[in-house]
Amino acid sequence: MLDPAAGRDGRADIRIVADRIAEVAPRVEPRPGERLLDATGLLVAPGLVDLHVHLREPGEELKETIATGAAAAAAGGFTTICAMPNTQPVADTPEAVQFVVERGLVAQAARVLPIAAASVGSRGERLTDVALLAATGAVAISDDGLPISTPGLLGEALEAAREVGIVVADHCEDRGLSRGGAVFAGIAGHLGVGGIPTEAESDAVARDLDVLARVGGRLHVCHVSTAGSVERLREARRSGLAVTAEVTPHHLVLTSEVVERLGGQAKMNPPLFTEADREVLVGALLDGTIDCVATDHAPHTAEEKARGLAEAPFGIVGLETAFGVLHTELVLTGRVPLGLLIERLTAGPAQAFGLPAGSLEPGSRADLAVFDLMQEWQVDVSAFESRGRNTPWEGRRLTGRAVLTLVGGRVVHDRLSVEWGNLEGEVSG
């Protein structure tokens, strides 16, 4: 059992009663009538928490729905996901936020928490009613897909979010520098497309941190991708600013080299940059400058992704591959300790947004994932729960996979095909 928030790392038994963790100890004596699962040889951890997913509903259900996205999350070991507001229409009203809440409950898979738009229509002109959106269930505000347009609007958003105890999550991009770009500027020329320089992100991070220092509140920097951004975040943390940050699996593992090979399937915003940037990101994950890993799960149709590098939309799916990719590329190579990776996928994101998740302490919700760290598997997009098939990992062999996911003590994904036994009959596991 690995529960970094509770300081647990070792063999343990867990008792679940109804939807809660009731007991955790080296040995828990079974009671008559209880169902048993023998997870010997497997890893039990808090359910993973993803602060950044795109579920496309309403408006683009061909790409994904809240139900299919929640099922994909459960298949990847995620028990809590936060849905970005750039749907059609944008989630900028209480009714739109309530829609996400209700559809998430109906899905009966991972918990789906809505992030509401920071500005009306995400147009960057006027702040939404942040207090009302938070009261309806929004756990953060963001115009993700777009940066919050001006320092003045960002300041208003930080102040309003602080009043109701939520976070502003910003997509940091200087669109004057990135406009028309498709990939990293360093490779754009010979690919015949527009380029995005690293400064498009790092300059925007600097702007946001300046506003945060002036106004206060809590800022979360989405999908950090450059060494320059990490440097500015380190400085901000040293000065005591309330800032958290996330990094995606693809930015931790891939570089712009794969774009030349895979084209639109490796096109995302922010783009993949250099090996030097990637190394700095891994270091920032290790030293805590970056608090959490988030997938930025962004499903698109095959037709859209086949349009060519200049016209293909940004984004890849990641909920079902995140753990396997990170375990294979970072843990098994000795670069990142397993316990730290689990922390950055559980307690780190939960603390960043103040969510009741990320730990298996007695009394907490029974949201947990069971991983087979030795299981080798091949990424097969035809077997995805997600409707999205746009991934650079297709056909890749990975080691480590979620085999059982529970939300509120209820099985929402099961690769073990376990017949749950009880003490009055044969116990199987």
Q: Which residues are the active-site residues?
A: 296
Residue of 83, 112, 68 whose CA lies nearest to 387: 68
Distance CA 55, CA 86 (A): 9
